[in-house]
Amino acid sequence: MSGAGAGAGIPLRATYDGRLVVLSLLVAVLGAYTALALADPVAVTRGRARALWLGGGAFALGLGIWGQHFVGMLAYGLPIPIAYDGAIVAVSLVGTVTAAAAGLFLVRYHQPLGAVPLAAASVFVGIAVVSLHYTGMASVQTPAMPVDDPLLLAVAVAIAIAGSGLALWLAFHAGSAALPARLRRPAAALALAGAIGGMHFTAMAALRFVGVLPVVGVPPPPTVAPAVSAAHLSLAVSAGLATLTILGLLALGAALGRRHTAHLARLEALRRSEERYRAIVQHAPDLVAVVAADGVAHYASPSHRRTLGYAPAEVEGKSLFDLVHPEDRALVRAVLGAAGLHPAPEDDPRDTLEDAPAVAFRLRHADGSWRTLDMRGRAQPGARGPRRRPARRDRTGRAGPALPAQGGATDEAPRLGRGPGPLAPP
């Protein structure tokens, strides 16, 4: 901020255009909301995706702070000419975005969010607000001397830091979970916008411009500010609307991006779940297979080699009935049919075979002998219709109830332990 002249000071009375004050606060609210929305996926992404989300959030917050300050300053009128250094106005955005990025990174990287990262992030975001304000004020060029009230200045800085802390706590801290989820981000955006606007207007209240006494023969400047000029009004409205448009597009991109990120997260969770279940099945002693309604095996666990002497590839793609004892085929068909009547719940990955009906039947070993196994089956919905997922346990050579004649089921067959859950065929 620059001034010119010497001599005793004449206090200058400033005024505000209420329309532009409201516009500046709208810019702050939308900037805060967009920044919080863009920063949300930072905690669940990695690498380039995390950098893009963090950069987008920091830019949105920096642009919101910059737009609020710029439109707010154009709403501010003095009874003397005011000009701005365009280079400083442009550069002021850089430091703000950097400090905002540091604050958003701290709260999203440290999850669950503790007191120390929250306090540090609050300071960084508060610094982003304060630095933009005073860098922007340094661009003001007017023939008057600025005088600050230190107490109000300290209050303005405290508002920036405390308001930022409240906003980050509402948006990202587990302690705010008592607030309904749909209200947390709007409340956080209002708190952050309050920090931005509150800091700006409190700092402006702490500032007085003092005009210098004129030389002999030159009339003094007026002490009451005229209305905002049409040129300033047009510039402020244009800047405000442009900022709102950019932030609106960023908010739309954030909403679409979050949906895409959530979809990718679900796919990754499903992939890890399937890998975990597959690892369990790969080492399970029981025989696990995914069988279509027509009896064709789409998946066979490695335990088929240990129990029946067949490699999984020798079983997959072939009909299970080729291995079933002729006297037991009707029984197996009945079990597969019953499994189709009791499909596994699609929304419960912990479904087990424990409550499925158990039967004993015979399968042919690779050496030509017959092995008696206990089987439980459950239908697993698939893209091409439900598939049966039977689990079989070898009971050859163990004491137990006799095999039911002509496929009658037995309630005395040993129960299998808890199954690994739904397993998609490879």
- Do residues 262 and 397 touch, judged by C-beta distance below 8 A? no
The verdict on 33 and 111 lying in the same domain is yes
Q: What is the pLDDT of residues 380-400, one digit of tens each?
A: 655 444 444 555 566 554 433
- Domain containing 209 equals 9-271
The verdict on 155 and 295 lying in the same domain is no
Q: What SS3 state is found at 206? A: coil
Residue 384, domain CATH: 3.30.450.20
The verdict on 84 and 176 lying in the same domain is yes
DSSP 111-169: SS--HHHHHHHHHHHHHHHHHHHHHHHHTEE-SEEEEE-HHHHHHHHHHHHHHHHHHHH
User: Is 419 within a domain?
Assistant: no
Q: What is the pLDDT of residues 12-33, one digit of tens each?
A: 888 888 988 999 999 999 889 9
The partner residues of 145 in beta bridges, in order of sequence, read 210
The verdict on 85 and 159 lying in the same domain is yes
Going by pLDDT thresholds of 50, 70 and 90, the confidence category of residue 186 is very high
The verdict on 127 and 55 lying in the same domain is yes
The verdict on 175 and 207 lying in the same domain is yes
Q: What is the pLDDT of residues 134-158, one digit of tens each?
A: 998 888 888 888 889 999 999 999 9
- Half-sphere exposure of residue 339, counting CA atoms within 13 Å on the CB side? 30
User: Is 368 within a domain?
Assistant: yes
- B/e letters for 189-228, b = 16+ CB within 10 Å, e = fewer, are bbbbbbbbbbbbbbbbebbbbebbeeeeeeeebeeebeeb
- Note the pTM of the prediction, 2 decimals: 0.59
> Taking Cα atoms as reference points, which of 161, 159, 177, 192 lies closest to residue 33?
192
C-alpha 390, offset from chain centre: 39
User: Is 189 within a domain?
Assistant: yes
User: Is 424 within a domain?
Assistant: no
The verdict on 244 and 302 lying in the same domain is no
> CA dihedral in degrees (224, 227, 232, 238; nearest 10)?
140
Residue 171 has pLDDT above 80, yes or no: yes
Going by pLDDT thresholds of 50, 70 and 90, the confidence category of residue 336 is confident
Query: Which of 211, 237, 271 represents a domain boundary (last residue)?
Result: 271
pLDDT at 150: 93
The verdict on 139 and 209 lying in the same domain is yes
The verdict on 182 and 95 lying in the same domain is yes
- In this structure, of 78-82, 131-135, 193-197, 251-255, the range with the lowest mean pLDDT score is 251-255
**Total domains in the fold of the chain:** 2
User: Is 414 within a domain?
Assistant: no
Structure tokens at 277: 């279940």
